[in-house]
Amino acid sequence: MPAAIEINSVRKTFKKRRGKTTKALDGVSLVIEEGELFGLLGPNGAGKTTLVRCIATLLIPDQGKIRLLGRDVFRHQLLVRRDIGLVTSGERTLYWKLSGWDNLKFFSALYGMDPRQAEKRIDFLIDLLGLNEFSRDRVERYSSGMRQKLSLARALLHDPKILLLDEPTLGLDPQFSRFIRNFIRQDLNQKDKKTILMTTHYMDEADELCDRIAFIDRGVIVGLDTPSGFKRAIPHEEILELKCQGLFDATSIEKMSRVEKVSLVHENGIVILKVMAQRSEDVLSDVIRDLSAKTKILSINVKEPTLEDVFIYYTGRSLKDEPGSHHE
């Protein structure tokens, strides 16, 4: 039986101004089996969306092959598109001047659905996603979460075998995020057995939902495992995490003999320093001494490694880093 998604040595370079180029994908290879919920994890600009767009036939790679259920996506693109449902993040992916119901009705025609069957399916999906009360309202009156639910309904209209979810919970409030996560795991993956490729830079989301995860950074797959496998692979049982006020230079900490990796993340004006060492207590006093001279330490914690820490271990970068930044 062919794999649901088979990506083989895919490369994509974008031309920028003044003859410069950006390598968005640099020889990516992946195999995702049918029924798998697969997470693609990486910071902004890592190549996640580019890869999803290549699979969805929106973007043509410079090199490499992509096969969906055994079919080459560029040779058989109209056929392949019947098997794909796409959800992207972002407010504007629907007709705001149409009702939710009319949006779904229009897209059902694009998927060649019989009008009566389409109407039944639309009613079913609207009910499933809890949009009944608002289905005849214009989308411009919906909240972000409701729009994302409607986007999910659109992706499911033609009952595709493969779902591509690009940052499906980005910008949603916790209640809607929780609903979408549960829906993805329980309804789509466990009950309907759909193959799902989702991108995210929320590590807890990937940890909670995905059967397997690939880390992508600068267009390269840098790690591929199950969430628990990843955590086992990291040779540290604990991570030293210090929250500090104001920017500082962490080079001196990086150079400490028993420190293996250091990362800095800026979050709402607070700098979070993560230090990986064989034993946290061996470096704790040196780190505190060094930092006290440079900044104000707000809190100190010793934590079990998360997927974020695993990502830092593999790449030296945080998932929250902007493209081009690097701490190592």
Q: In the chain, count of helices (H) and strands (E)?
A: 11, 14
Decide: is 124 part of the binding site for another protein (CB under 8 A): no
12 binds another protein (CB under 8 A): yes
E-strand stretches of 110-187: 162-166
Distance CA 189, CA 196 (A): 7
At closest approach, how far in Å is the CB of 58 from another protein? 6
Q: Shortest Cβ distance from residue 285 to another protein (Å)? A: 50
Residues 168 and 196: beta-carbon distance below 8 Å: no
Q: Residue 212, interface with another protein (CB under 8 A)?
A: no
Query: Quick one: which of 48, 67, 81, 212 contacts another protein (CB under 8 A)?
Result: 81
Residue list 292-321, contact with another protein (CB under 8 A): none
Judged by CB, which is closer to another protein: 84, or 209? Answer: 84
Binding window for another protein (CB under 8 A); candidates: 78-86, 126-134, 168-176, 187-195: 78-86
Site string for another protein, 93-122 (x = CB under 8 A): xxxxxx---x--xxx-xxxxxxx-------
Shortest distance, CB of residue 20 to another protein, whole angstroms? 15
Q: Least separation, in Å, of the C-beta of 9 and another protein?
A: 18
State CA 235 to chain mean position distance.
25
**Cβ neighbours for 9, distance < 8 A, ≥ 6 positions apart:** 27, 28, 29, 63, 64, 65
Judged by CB under 8 A, which of 2, 9, 14, 304 binds another protein?
Answer: 14
Give the residue with the Cβ less far from another protein, 95 or 314: 95
58, 233, 270, 302: which one binds another protein (CB under 8 A): 58
The DSSP output letter for 50 is: H
**Stretch binding another protein (CB under 8 A), from 53-61, 203-211, 254-262, 286-294:** 53-61
The residue from 11, 23, 82, 161 that contacts another protein (CB under 8 A) is 82
Place of tokens 């010793």: 302
Residue with tokens 């604990």: 238
Ramachandran assignment for 130, one of left (phi > 0), alpha (psi -120 to 50 degrees), beta (any other): left
Number of residues engaging another protein in binding (CB under 8 A): 41
Q: For tokens 């992508």, name the residue.
A: 216
φ/ψ bin of 254: left (φ > 0), alpha (ψ from -120 to 50), beta (otherwise): alpha
What is the CA 103 to chain-centroid distance, rounded? 26
- Nearest Cα residue to 179 out of 159, 218, 205, 155: 205
How far apart CA 324 and CA 248 sit, in angstroms, is 19
Stretch binding another protein (CB under 8 A), from 28-36, 91-99, 172-180, 262-270: 91-99
Which residues form the interface with another protein (CB under 8 A)?
12, 14-15, 24, 50, 53, 56-60, 78-79, 81-82, 84, 86, 88, 90-98, 102, 105-107, 109-115, 138, 154, 158
